[in-house]
Chains A and B, each alone.
Chain A
Amino acid sequence: AQSVSQHNHHVILSEAASLELGCNYSYGGTVNLFWYVQYPGQHLQLLLKYFSGDPLVKGIKGFEAEFIKSKFSFNLRKPSVQWSDTAEYFCAVSETNAGKSTFGDGTTLTVKP
């Protein structure tokens, strides 16, 4: 069975600091990888996705993630965070045939102005 592990439960940063959120998954087959963001009071929104090709994926709002197959990792990065990035971030993995997604437990990011 698939599982997703997000290493940091709560991260607190000051504005302009760099961000890296860890995500590791366990599944031996070919996977699709996602990062979702949930702003306070809003629904889950897709930040970025990896299906195949270049392992460095760029998403919205300056976020990027790198798929390292050998490490089963898909870490999220942003060079300089803003107060508006305060939200909960979820890593998810699914099999390539549009099946169910397995989510991590999320990382709450708080950015201090």
Chain B
Amino acid sequence: DAGVTQSPTHLIKTRGQQVTLRCSPKSGHDTVSWYQQALGQGPQFIFQYYEEEERQRGNFPDRFSGHQFPNYSSELNVNALLLGDSALYLCASSLSRKNTEAFFGQGTRLTVV
């Protein structure tokens, strides 16, 4: 049973560029959440997708957008990259019901130069 898989594992981009990160949820999960983890900090919630719609959003600018596909996989897009966007981006999947836990992927390490 595959867990949460993310690609790519590492990425280097230049300021102003755009990036797309991908996530496949754990088998049977229908909800995907994205988090940003800066060095020395805990993960910060970006947004959550369920039934192909953004359901909840954290305090992140509109440069951060996402998508969920019919097979529950998801993409995180970041436009107009800033140096401050350098971080580990984590995907977590869960079931859309009460009292459920999230399973995390290994993350994508994004470096903006």
- Residue ranges of A at the interface with B (Cβ–Cβ < 8 Å): 4, 32, 34, 36, 42-46, 49, 51-52, 90, 92, 96-106
Q: A44-B90, A98-B94, A100-B56 are in contact. Are A106 and B99 (CB under 8 A)?
A: no
Set of chain B residues within 8 Å of A96, measured between Cβ atoms: 98-99
B25 at the binding interface (Cβ < 8 Å): no
Interchain Cβ contacts within 8 Å, total number: 58
Q: A98-B31, A100-B33, A100-B58 are in contact. Are A46 and B42 (CB under 8 A)?
A: no
- Is the CB–CB distance between B48 and A99 below 8 Å? yes
What's the Cα separation between A43 and B90 when bound, in Å? 9
Closest 8 CB pairs of A and B: A103-B42, A44-B104, A100-B45, A51-B99, A43-B106, A105-B42, A103-B43, A98-B100
Instruction: Select one of A34, A98, A104 contacting B95, CB under 8 A.
Output: A98
- Is the CB–CB distance between A32 and B104 below 8 Å? no
Give min CB distance, B102 to chain A, whole Å: 6
Give min CB distance, B105 to chain A, whole Å: 6
- Residue ranges of B at the interface with A (Cβ–Cβ < 8 Å): 4, 31, 33, 35, 40-45, 48, 56, 58, 90, 92, 94-107
Instruction: Select one of A97, A101, A106 contacting B102, CB under 8 A.
Output: A101
> With A43-B105, A97-B98 given, can you name 12 additional A-B contacts, CB distance below 8 Å?
A43-B106, A43-B107, A44-B43, A46-B101, A46-B103, A90-B42, A96-B98, A99-B48, A100-B48, A100-B56, A103-B42, A106-B40
Give min CB distance, A100 to chain B, whole Å: 4
What's the Cα separation between A100 and B106 when bound, in Å? 19
